[in-house]
Amino acid sequence: MSSDFSSPAPAAAAVYDATATHDAAADLPALRVYAPGRAELLGNHTDYNAGLVMAIAVNRGITLSARPLRDGAIHLRALDIHREYHGHVDQLHPSATESWANYVLGVAFQFVNTGRRLGGFSLEITSNLPMGAGLSSSAALEIATALALAEMFGHEVEPLALARIAQKAEHEFAGVKCGLLDQISSLMSAATSVTSIDCRSLQVTPVAIPSGGVFVIADPHAKHQLVTGEYNERRASCESAARKLGVPFLRDITSAQLEARREELTDMEYRRALHVVGETERVALGAEALAKSDLATFGALMFASHESSIANFENSCPELDTLVTAARRHAGCLGARLSGGGFGGSTINLVRAGQEESFIQALKAAWPKTECLVTPACAGATVLS
């Protein structure tokens, strides 16, 4: 479900029109829902450690065209990849053959499992958000589905509860033990602001972005498949470290305390914990920097985050490291790091306004397969009609 990543992002209306020909034959007007992808700025793997994280919604996303059905049937069509799934609302279980459909089916299952009745439904899915680029196409699909089901079947669900439904769908139907960063960012982001999330209290705070910088997402087309187990292994290491340190989450310990108790952990547990604890501290410093309109300090924190991903969390890869090295050498780049779970995906770069074109050319010279997207901080998901 992806389109050319390097092409200018179309206006929202153009994205929505992609389903118009499919709607024309229907008896009822379709409900249309849009959910954006997200880019993580600071706070890598902190969400499931009850830490702090910062992200933005990007100007690419997923659009659903949805209708309720009276017979309980479920018909899903992924228009961009020419795949279909057919099932029934009374038989919700993961598909062994259509893994993309599991994000939809998982959300439907969570609605039913929490006492929110559903009828049958059809969804047509189109996207200009590349899968595997680390921009959380999975969460965008989950959030769009959740909004569509709530609207079609008359369920009032407050935003955090909706995000939790989407998260649990990914846990149980996709097998990825993700935190809430992706779902909250796709659903609750505000335009022109960084979305700052306290993953313990689930307080969501928009932080205004100072003028003078733009975000560039760079996709080297590196492998990105969290379901292979790397993501879940990192989470298990963090949880093991917290248990040995006698704290509920790694959020509950400082870098100084961690260093003092280093001998209580294996080397791997220590390095995983050092990354997560340091990331929460970097988010706090990043919020202070944005409040002071200090983009240089914010960018330096991004570089430090990536170095920790390499040395401590080991969730980067050669393609991403090559791009960050090239970014650091460009005079117009203030900061760069991997975005999201890692093991592939994309980098997020903070670049001085007006220098993004030369910056993009520098990245492509370093890694020719790179495709880039310039994005503002965008608003979260919405029901269109």
Token duo for residue 38 = 């997200």
Residue 71 and residue 41 in contact, taking contact as beta carbons nearer than 8 Å: no
State whether the Cα torsion 344-350-356-358 is positive or negative. negative
Whether 182 is a known active-site residue: answer: yes
Helix axes 267-291, 230-245, angle to 10 degrees: 90
Burial of 309 (0-12, 13-18, 19+ CB in 10 A): buried
- Out of 17, 90, 182, 198, which one is annotated catalytic? 182
Beta bridge partners of 205: 196
Asked if residues 133 and 347 have their Cβ atoms less than 8 Å apart, the reply is no
CA-CA distance, 277 to 44, in Å (whole number)?
10
- For residues 119, 177, 349, 214, the Cα torsion angle rounded to the nearest 10 degrees is 30
Would you name the residues annotated as active-site residues? 182
